Amino acid sequence: MQNIDMNKVVGNCHILFVCIDSLRYDVAFEEQQNQGTPVLNEFGGWRKCFAPGNFTYPSHQAMFAGFFPVDEGISDMKEREKLFFSEDIGMGRKAPENAYTFQGSNWVEGLEREGYDTYCIGGVSFFDKRTDIGKVMPSYFKNSYWNPSFGCKVKESAEHQVDFAIQKLAQIPDGQLVMMYLNISALHYPNYFYIQEAKRDSREAHAAALRYVDRELGRLFGAFQKIGKTFVICCSDHGTCYGEDGIWYHGINHPIVNTVPYKHFFLM
């Protein structure tokens, strides 16, 4: 069921899209219930959804085209919540009610055409701009950034990403609408270093990384609240396995990989 009228959001609110790369639904839900993520808990519970892809690249290509994770239990395409919808696709090219119909190859480009200043702060290698494939998705944004301190191998990556985002927000002129995307890399492998003396990635380290990210997101949300009303999309692109059924990590269809947490909310 459509809860948000995106035609009232676009042009009136800043838009923040946070993807906590590789976040598993079961871990996100457990930390929610255990109060391990007080910042994220403040904005409602996680929705249990199916990811549009089983690793970063296909999942993000789908999400930037407007196909976000779909709620578990929804089988009728017409019942799926749509935030953004391309004017060039769909049944009869008719947008679902309350979805924002965008022009261009993705909704980020559509928002830029509406006057938004668009920012990408990369994390995993598909956003690092060091290779041709790592330049594809950052190219959707007017401003895109990556440096090694944002990457998976750096324990303080989320802190560095949020610091950088806050610096950029401080430079935004009054009245300028912003769309910002953060690819949070902390939960992606390797993550063993979030558990003292651990030597291998694990579900426990994944959870510890999420608790760390939650603390950093509090600072990011606070910075957006200072510049104005903001619509936030927060989700995972896929889950990841730690030996379940003999599977490690992702890029393969498995319930843990295919099931992700999702929520959206406003910052006032």
Identify which of 168, 169, 164 has the alpha carbon closest to the alpha carbon of residue 224. Answer: 169
Q: Residue 205: inside a domain, yes or no? A: yes
Mean pLDDT value of segment 211-228: 98
pLDDT at res. 92: 55
**C-alpha distance from residue 17 to each of 153, 205, 232, 237, 249 (Å):** 22, 24, 6, 12, 24
- For residue 75, pLDDT over 90 is answered with no
Q: For residues 89 and 96, is the Cβ–Cβ distance under 8 A?
A: no
pLDDT at res. 97: 84
Q: 28-35 long-range CB contacts below 8 Å, 24 or more apart? A: 28/210, 28/236, 28/261, 29/261, 30/207, 31/207, 31/210, 31/211, 31/214
Mean pLDDT value of segment 233-261: 98
Q: Residue 233: inside a domain, yes or no? A: yes
- For residue 149, pLDDT over 80 is answered with yes
Least confident among 48-57, 97-106, 195-204:
97-106
Q: Residue 1: inside a domain, yes or no? A: no
Q: pLDDT tens, 83-104?
A: 999 987 755 567 788 999 999 9
Q: For residues 262 and 80, is the Cβ–Cβ distance under 8 A?
A: no
Entry pTM = 0.97
Rounded distance, CA 134 to CA 125, Å? 6
| CATH number for 165 | 3.40.720.10
Question: How many domains in the chain?
Answer: 1
Q: Residue 175: inside a domain, yes or no? A: yes
Arithmetic mean of pLDDT over the chain:
95
pLDDT at res. 1: 43
Percentage of residues in the chain having pLDDT higher than 70: 98
Mean pLDDT value of segment 177-187: 98
Q: pLDDT tens, 1-34?
A: 447 999 999 999 999 999 999 999 999 999 999 9
∠ at Cα 43 (260, 37), nearest 5°? 65
Q: Residue 262: inside a domain, yes or no? A: yes
Q: Residue 212: inside a domain, yes or no? A: yes
Domain that holds residue 77: 6-267
Q: Residue 59: inside a domain, yes or no? A: yes
